């Protein structure tokens, strides 16, 4: 989010008059206001992660395992940051009459999903793949239903993102690359559930593919790719880059994130641990890093140009 958007987040609950006429840098089209329910839901989820982080720091405890406090912490932060990213996306979509309903359904479904995971932690039982009792089975089934609802909302927003958008070109690229990557994460999540149940049936850990492939790694990489792209858009504005250079920054970051997702897929489906590099994995990882570093070149160049202008 750019500086104006963060100011809007901080004053959203105190400003009775929000008209959505703020202009977007290089674009002549107005951006509508950030969705209050999506922004506040993201903040609530992040605070849940922060709360459980504080408990872990004070009390300690195991970090790994299905009963560890890791799940409330990571799901709180991950879902919260993803929700904030969706607020950024929705603001750049053409407006629909039913947007408030879609925004509300998405936000409340994601909160309910995380709260069910947290509830199971405090009950001292696993949240995923837990069918030990009828109640636990119902919770796991409800979580699956909520994810389906969330995915439907994401599909709607992704498809709308390929229409005419009232935003700058770099932001369109970020949206049109980031949202499909989020959907790919949802598909991986669905595969994880199906595959995990088969693994449990034969007494194997559900999150491991092959010898050492970590499916959660492949699930998480595309889920959070869009945040890197949003940061690229934000930095382009902070450094006052012309639109052409901002497009270069976000395009390089987009290719980098696609390659990094490919790297995660190669590692997992070849049964390798995250950084147990094979030749293909090393090539994808190195290319992703190189392009990610190259995306910083226009920013660094603009920084030096500004210093020279000031000194002269």
Per residue in 104-145, pLDDT tens? 999 999 999 999 999 999 999 989 988 989 999 999 999 999
**229 and 134 in one domain?**
no
In the chain, how many domains are there? 2
**215 and 148 in one domain?**
no
Asked if residue 13 belongs to a domain, the reply is no
DSSP assignment string, 140-194:
HHHHHHHHHHHHHHHHHHHHHTTS--SS-HHHHHHHHHHHHHHHHHHHHHHHHHH
Q: Give which of 287, 79, 42, 299 is closest to 170, Cα–Cα.
A: 299
Among candidate residues 117, 150, 166, the one where a domain is terminated: 166
Domain that holds residue 212: 205-312
Asked if residue 197 belongs to a domain, the reply is no
**154 and 44 in one domain?**
yes
Asked if residue 200 belongs to a domain, the reply is no
β-strands 208-209, 213-214: how paired?
Answer: antiparallel
Angle between helices 243-269 and 169-201 (to 10 degrees): 10
- The mean predicted confidence, pLDDT, of the chain is 88
Are 261 and 285 a contacting pair, CB within 8 Å? Answer: no
**159 and 45 in one domain?**
yes
**221 and 151 in one domain?**
no
**270 and 155 in one domain?**
no
From residue 81, give the alpha-carbon distance in Å to each of 76, 219, 294: 9, 15, 25
Asked if residue 256 belongs to a domain, the reply is yes
Asked if residue 304 belongs to a domain, the reply is yes
| Residues paired with 23 in a beta bridge | 30
Say if residue 210's pLDDT is above 60: yes
Question: How many whole angstroms separate alpha carbon 98 and alpha carbon 100?
Answer: 6
**213 and 155 in one domain?**
no
Among candidate residues 149, 166, 183, the one where a domain is terminated: 166
Asked if residue 8 belongs to a domain, the reply is no
**218 and 160 in one domain?**
no
Say if residue 33's pLDDT is above 90: no
Query: pLDDT tens-digit profile of 233-257?
Result: 999 999 999 999 999 999 999 999 9
**245 and 160 in one domain?**
no
% residues pLDDT > 70 (the chain):
90
Q: Phi, psi at residue 225, to the nearest 5°?
A: -65, -35
Are 28 and 56 a contacting pair, CB within 8 Å? Answer: no
Q: What confidence category does residue 14 fall into, taking pLDDT thresholds of 50, 70 and 90?
A: very low
Q: What share of the chain is helix, strand, coil (3-state, %, to 5)?
A: 70, 0, 25
**112 and 231 in one domain?**
no
Asked if residue 192 belongs to a domain, the reply is no
Neighbours of 253 (CB within 10 A): 29
Give residues with Cβ within 8 angstroms of 33, minimum separation 6.
8, 12, 18, 19, 20, 22, 91
Are 161 and 150 a contacting pair, CB within 8 Å? Answer: no
DSSP assignment letter at 282: H
**155 and 40 in one domain?**
yes
Instruction: Please give the pLDDT value at position 303.
Output: 82
Rounded to two decimals, what is the model's pTM?
0.86
Are 172 and 179 a contacting pair, CB within 8 Å? Answer: no
**152 and 220 in one domain?**
no
pLDDT (average), residues 175-200 = 94
- For residue 267, the Cα-to-chain-centroid distance in whole angstroms is 21
Asked if residue 180 belongs to a domain, the reply is no
């Amino acid at each position: 989010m750019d500086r104006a958007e963060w100011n809007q987040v901080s004053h959203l609950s105190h400003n009775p008059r929000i008209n959505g006429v703020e202009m977007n840098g290089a674009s002549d089209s107005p951006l509508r206001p950030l969705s209050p329910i999506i922004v506040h839901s993201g903040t609530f989820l992040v605070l849940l992660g922060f709360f459980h982080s504080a408990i872990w720091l004070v009390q300690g405890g195991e970090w790994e395992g299905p009963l560890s406090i890791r799940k409330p912490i990571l799901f709180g932060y991950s879902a919260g940051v993803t929700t904030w990213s969706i607020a950024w996306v929705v603001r750049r979509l053409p407006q629909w009459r039913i947007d408030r309903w879609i925004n509300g359904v998405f936000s409340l479904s994601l909160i309910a999903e995380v709260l069910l995971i947290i509830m199971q932690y405090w009950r001292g039982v696993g949240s995923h793949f837990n069918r030990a009792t009828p109640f636990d089975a119902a919770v796991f089934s409800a979580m699956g239903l909520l994810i389906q609802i969330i995915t439907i909302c994401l599909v709607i927003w992704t498809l709308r993102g390929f229409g005419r958008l009232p935003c700058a070109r770099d932001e369109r690229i970020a949206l049109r690359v980031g949202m499909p990557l989020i959907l790919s994460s949802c598909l991986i999540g669905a595969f994880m559930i199906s595959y995990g149940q088969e693994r449990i049936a034969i007494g194997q850990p559900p999150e491991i593919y092959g010898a050492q492939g970590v499916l959660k790694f492949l699930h998480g990489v595309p889920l959070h790719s869009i945040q890197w792209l949003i940061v690229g858009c934000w930095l382009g504005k902070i450094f006052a880059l012309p639109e052409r250079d901002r497009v270069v920054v976000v395009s390089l970051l987009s290719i980098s994130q696609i390659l990094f997702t490919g790297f995660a897929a190669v590692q997992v489906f070849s049964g390798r641990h995250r950084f147990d590099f094979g030749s293909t994995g090393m090539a994808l990882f190195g290319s992703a890093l190189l392009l990610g570093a190259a995306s910083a070149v226009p920013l660094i160049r603009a920084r030096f140009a500004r210093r020279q202008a000031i000194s002269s």
